[in-house]
Amino acid sequence: MDFKQAVKAYNENPTDENLYRVASELRGELTPGEKLKMLSGKKFFFRNGHDLIFKGRKYNHRPCISGGAKRLGIPEVAFTDGPRGIVMGDSTCFPVPMSRGASFNPELEYEIGLAMADEAIAREANYFAGICINLLRNPRWGRAQETYGEDPCLLSAMGVALTKAVQEKGVIACPKHYAVNSIENIRFDVDVQCDDVTLHEVYLPHFKACIDAGAMSIMGAYNLFRGDHCCESKYLLKDILRDKWGFTGFTISDFLMGVRNAPKALKAGMDIEMPQIMHYATLPLDLKRGKISAEDINNSVESILRGLIKITPRIKRPSRSVVACKEHRDLAYRAAAEGTVLLKNNGVLPLAKGAKIAVVGRYADKINLGDHGSSSVHPPYAVTPYKGLCNVFGKENVVLCEGTSITPKESEIKKCDAVILCVGSDYLQEGENLANFSKNDDLQQKGMGGDRYSLRIPEEEVTLIRHACASCRNVIVNIIGGSAYVIEEWKEQPAAILHSFYSGMEGGNALAALLSGRENFSGHLPFTVAKSEDDYPGFLFPGDKTRKIDYSGYHGYTLLDSEGKTAAYPFGFGLSYTEFRYSRIKAQVKDDTVEVSVSVKNAGEYDGKTVVQVYAGAPGDHPVKTLKGFSKVFVPAGENVRAVVSFKKDDLRFYNPETEDWYFEKEYTLYVGKDSEDAMNKKFEIEIN
């Protein structure tokens, strides 16, 4: 049997049982040497044995290759990174996932997934490692921008949408980084502790959702969990992933330092060491010495074959012209518009046609797409805030003042109808820690990415905000960055505040369209903006004496609920140019589904979208409430729409560590609203039989 015959045999009876049988039969055709080559990346650092691939080129400029067996027609695994687009070539740069999480629009994320898959295939990849669903526990995390937010329900919905879209096109989807990964600067040696209830209820539901949606691969994390590196954790990779969840695909390590002990990793269920053979070079000797068995190798080979047999034959290769095509650029614009969150507006927005505008700040005319690490995408162009405003308001009506002072152009800026301050972060302040191989904490603080030591806007930008607000009219603060900022000391001063994240190649055009009223704001916060940095869970940095950290079941809005605190801006919050009113809320349990319906009235003069959010809680040692479902609803001005939010009854269950199973409480309280605090005003009881 060769690969084509295996695919045909599986497609004649596409069941899991037959997939296992066919993969086993194909594995039997491989030689011992071919099997071992399936288990490692290759040609990442060297080509023809000597030429450094990185020399003069960016990371992942071509697919990172592993496995394959040409004799039997078994394709290689051709990896491309993400998650804001295809890292290879000059691809479409979409907004970062945190921005897309703020859209609360899984349907839009599905469209983005189809586009990314086409661009991956056009660049000769068949594997997409851009489904980052690590939970945002604390906004200090440098790579927060790569995920969708702080809530497992939101992470699940967005991750599932991207997984399904990518694999529909024939590209293997890889959720990452499995698991409890949310600290960057000490990512290689932080040891996360948490109890089983917290693990299964908070940190794993979104991974399971993607596996249930059919994801055929998963990437392990760098960090340790309960003393074992995640890429060597039998509990994570075998006991939970395969035995509990029934995962049929294959695992890969995070790059370079994911694997430390080859026999331990392979026996735990780590199938491929990426991106280059390093520790797995010892596997032949480990086999001879009895540290691993032939069965261990066969298990991993069959896992890889199952993923390839099930997914890659669906590929239909588009031409290179699909990369950054107009359709994909338009999609990037829509995503940027839907993901921008309006936090405050005293009536200054939308700006009048023909208004004279000043755009000020270090990011006013700087291309700022986010992290420069493994998620970096290089689009053919990018629209800055200044260029976007010129496109909408006319260059003659836009004053540009770069830097953190308005003094050079203060007299001209004072004459403007509005002043837009672009503040926040770039790749130097947050992102993948480009200095952490040196373990020099000072390098990060000087600007090498990584975790954020402060959750506040840089002091020189706070000074800019205060100066501008004191001397200019209608100051609008545009926050650019990956996650939450604590802004209590200055939020009362500007006329308007918005959070545009890292909004991709079309971000400037989307910003201008929103400020002008051509588009309506519909983004909602995918995280909690607290009043104090101390309102978030504890965090670790390289200077701390310990490398162990305990993750409790409470963070974000669940932590504030448990402590009786209110947020500066709650999870799910987002303003619009119109007003939405919810009424006539009904809930019913239908077989295995809970259905909540709400009458949504648009009481304003603008068409708009709102996100109906449904939370649930129960008596006992549980969070007050957690998000269970949501629906983004378009409502024309002056009209009513009946919105329906449905979720599985099983999503109400809690985990029992003693039985290692799930159970229902007898009664639940449902909360319905426009954000996590608004929902507390509309609650009612339901019984679960």
The β-bridge partners of 674 are: none
Q: Using only C-alpha atoms, what is the Rg of the chain?
A: 25
CB atoms within 10 A of CB 224: 22
How many Å apart are CA 449 and CA 435, to the nearest integer?
8
CA nearest 217: which of 292, 154, 293, 310? 310
Residue with tokens 């497609």: 11
Residue 485 φ/ψ, nearest 5 degrees: -125, 140
Is residue 16 pLDDT above 50, yes or no? yes
Per-residue pLDDT, 437: 43
Q: Read off the pLDDT of residues 364-382 as tens digits, 9 standing for 90 and up.
A: 999 999 999 999 999 999 9
Give the three-class secondary structure for 306. Answer: helix
| Contact call for residues 241 and 274 (beta carbons, < 8 A) | no
Which pair of structure tokens corresponds to residue 106?
A: 């899984």
Segments forming the whole domain that contains residue 78: 3-320
Q: Read off the pLDDT of residues 88-122 as tens digits, 9 standing for 90 and up.
A: 999 999 999 999 999 999 999 999 999 999 999 99
CA nearest 406: which of 351, 466, 355? 466
Q: Read off the pLDDT of residues 276-314 as tens digits, 9 standing for 90 and up.
A: 999 999 999 999 999 999 999 999 999 999 999 999 888
Residues 6+ apart with CB under 8 A from 614: 596, 627, 628, 629, 630, 645, 647, 670, 671, 672, 679
Residue with tokens 């069965």: 295
Check whether residue 346 and residue 248 sit in a common domain. Answer: no
Per-residue pLDDT, 44: 81
Mean pLDDT, the chain, integer:
95
The β-bridge partners of 634 are: 609
Q: Is residue 366 part of a domain?
A: yes
Q: Stretch 343-349: mean pLDDT, rounded? A: 97
| Contact call for residues 184 and 143 (beta carbons, < 8 A) | yes
Residue with tokens 């800026």: 413
Phi/psi zone of residue 449: left (φ > 0), alpha (ψ -120 to 50 degrees), beta?
left
Which pair of structure tokens corresponds to residue 202?
A: 């908070």
Is residue 435 pLDDT above 80, yes or no? no
Q: pLDDT grade, residue 438 (50/70/90)?
A: very low
Pairing outcome for strands 496-499 and 172-176:
unpaired
CB atoms within 10 A of CB 56: 7
| Contact call for residues 424 and 439 (beta carbons, < 8 A) | no
What secondary structure does DSSP assign to 619-686, as a single string? SSSS-S-EEEEEEEEEE-TT-EEEEEEEEEGGGG-EEETTTTEEE--SEEEEEEESSTTGGGGSEEEE
Q: Is residue 405 part of a domain?
A: yes
Whole-structure pTM value: 0.96
Helix ranges (H only) for 541-610 are: 556-563
Residue with tokens 């921005």: 99
Check whether residue 165 and residue 311 sit in a common domain. Answer: yes
Q: Read off the pLDDT of residues 564-623 as tens digits, 9 standing for 90 and up.
A: 999 999 999 999 999 999 999 999 998 999 999 999 999 999 999 999 999 999 999 999
Question: Among the three residues 504, 525, 557, which one is the final residue of a domain in this structure?
Answer: 557
Q: Is residue 327 part of a domain?
A: no
Give the three-class secondary structure for 556. Answer: helix
How many Å apart are CA 199 and CA 220, to the nearest integer?
16
Instruction: Find the CATH number of the domain harbouring 266.
Output: 3.20.20.300
Question: Among the three residues 522, 557, 592, which one is the final residue of a domain in this structure?
Answer: 557
Per-residue pLDDT, 650: 97
Per-residue pLDDT, 49: 42
The β-bridge partners of 87 are: none
Fill in the DSSP letter of residue 39.
T
| Contact call for residues 20 and 302 (beta carbons, < 8 A) | yes
Instruction: Find the CATH number of the domain harbouring 489.
Output: 3.40.50.1700
Strand order in the sheet with 667-673: 626-635, 608-617, 667-673, 683-687
Q: Is residue 562 part of a domain?
A: no
Check whether residue 312 and residue 355 sit in a common domain. Answer: no
Per-residue pLDDT, 133: 98
Check whether residue 494 and residue 628 sit in a common domain. Answer: no
Check whether residue 586 and residue 442 sit in a common domain. Answer: no
Q: Is residue 632 part of a domain?
A: yes
Strands of 29-177 (E only): list them: 41-42, 46-47, 51-52, 64-66, 77-81, 127-132, 172-176
Instruction: Find the CATH number of the domain harbouring 649.
Output: 2.60.40.10
Fill in the DSSP letter of residue 415.
T
How many Å apart are CA 167 and CA 174, to the nearest integer?
10
Q: Read off the pLDDT of residues 399-433 as tens digits, 9 standing for 90 and up.
A: 999 999 999 999 999 999 999 999 999 999 999 98
Asked if the peptide bond before residue 380 counts as cis, ω within 30 degrees of 0, the response is: no
Per-residue pLDDT, 144: 98
Check whether residue 71 and residue 207 sit in a common domain. Answer: yes
Asked if the peptide bond before residue 177 counts as cis, ω within 30 degrees of 0, the response is: yes
Is residue 689 pLDDT above 80, yes or no? no
How many domains does one find in the chain? 3
Q: pLDDT grade, residue 439 (50/70/90)?
A: very low
State the first-to-last Cα distance of the chain, in angstroms, to the nearest integer. Answer: 51
| Contact call for residues 155 and 133 (beta carbons, < 8 A) | yes
How many Å apart are CA 150 and CA 676, to the nearest integer?
12
Asked if the peptide bond before residue 179 counts as cis, ω within 30 degrees of 0, the response is: yes
Check whether residue 313 and residue 390 sit in a common domain. Answer: no
How many Å apart are CA 503 and CA 266, to the nearest integer?
40
Check whether residue 496 and residue 587 sit in a common domain. Answer: no
| Contact call for residues 203 and 551 (beta carbons, < 8 A) | yes
Check whether residue 68 and residue 183 sit in a common domain. Answer: yes
What secondary structure does DSSP assign to 504-544, as a single string? -TTHHHHHHHHHHTSS------SS-B-SSGGGSPP---TTS
Asked if the peptide bond before residue 537 counts as cis, ω within 30 degrees of 0, the response is: no
Q: Read off the pLDDT of residues 135-191 as tens digits, 9 standing for 90 and up.
A: 999 999 999 999 999 999 999 999 999 999 999 999 999 999 999 999 999 999 999
Which pair of structure tokens corresponds to residue 115?
A: 């586009």
Q: Which amino acid is at 382?
A: A
Q: Is residue 333 part of a domain?
A: no
Q: Is residue 16 part of a domain?
A: yes
Per-residue pLDDT, 48: 45
Per-residue pLDDT, 194: 97
Is residue 335 pLDDT above 90, yes or no? yes
Is residue 47 pLDDT above 80, yes or no? no
The β-bridge partners of 499 are: 341, 479
How many Å apart are CA 498 and CA 487, to the nearest integer?
12
Is residue 446 pLDDT above 60, yes or no? no
Residues 6+ apart with CB under 8 A from 454: 533
How many Å apart are CA 623 and CA 560, to the nearest integer?
10
**594 membership: H or E segment, kind and range:** strand 593-602
Check whether residue 119 and residue 262 sit in a common domain. Answer: yes
Is residue 489 pLDDT above 50, yes or no? yes
Check whether residue 316 and residue 410 sit in a common domain. Answer: no
Check whether residue 26 and residue 135 sit in a common domain. Answer: yes
Per-residue pLDDT, 301: 98
Strand order in the sheet with 418-424: 341-345, 496-499, 475-480, 418-424, 357-360, 398-401
Question: Among the three residues 526, 557, 588, which one is the final residue of a domain in this structure?
Answer: 557
Q: Which amino acid is at 205?
A: P
Phi/psi zone of residue 85: left (φ > 0), alpha (ψ -120 to 50 degrees), beta?
left
Q: Is residue 573 part of a domain?
A: no
